[in-house]
Structure 1
């Protein structure tokens, strides 16, 4: 069965001015792969909350700025537009800060763990 073509614009219609909360948009979803656009406007992870995902997550900061804390590291990593990081499965991390003055746009690529791993 042939899959239909899909298109879009990464930076179009991102977040209306004054919108509350983060925005999450799936751009592509296939078995073992999901690409998501996340738009933050000052949001952070809740206190004592850590992301701990069974899949890997490759993240590109498209616009804005953020601080990402990886469990076991002494201080958060400062990310700016163009920076990326590959978080392997179960790499516990949290968002410590996103710029409240502008949109922080993340492109997150979630991928299945290696065969035989989790």
Structure 2
């Protein structure tokens, strides 16, 4: 059995969003994402093969869909993003690191 802590080993300085796989299986991948005021580049969209369930564990984040819809996520909030739904990170907290938990399936 393996274990860990989602709030440990967080670097003091993060130049770009940090993506870390926690677990991988043939049909599921669990990822910790750490943002520090980061956002997707303007005009850059995720268009993923997998569905993505994502939650904010610390901080805040705003997800933008290509139709202009914005979803604000505070601590404990989550959203499910169906495969091939174009989206981007519009913004994350400028005052603290944002820790996301993402499950791809």
Pick the TM interval, shorter chain. Answer: over 0.9
The TM-score, its normalising length taken from structure 2, stands at 0.94
Q: Distance in 2 between matches of 1:60 and 1:32?
A: 19
- Larger Cα-atom Rg: 1
Q: Distance in 2 between matches of 1:98 and 1:71?
A: 18
Q: Distance in 1 between matches of 2:69 and 2:21?
A: 30
Q: Distance in 2 between matches of 1:70 and 1:87?
A: 10
Report the Cα offset of residue 19 of structure 1.
3.3
2:10 pairs with 1:9? no
Within a 5 Å distance, the mapping from 1:1-118 to structure 2 comes to 5-14=1-10, 16-72=11-67, 74-111=68-105
The residue that corresponds to 1:114 in the other structure is none
Supply the RMSD in Å over aligned alpha carbons.
1.1
Report the Cα offset of residue 24 of structure 1.
1.3
**Number of residue-to-residue matches in the alignment:** 105
The TM-score, its normalising length taken from structure 1, stands at 0.84
After superposing on structure 2, the runs of 4+ consecutive aligned residues of structure 1 that deviate more than 6 Å are none
Q: Distance in 2 between matches of 1:87 and 1:19?
A: 26
Gapped regions of structure 1 (runs ≥ 5):
112-118
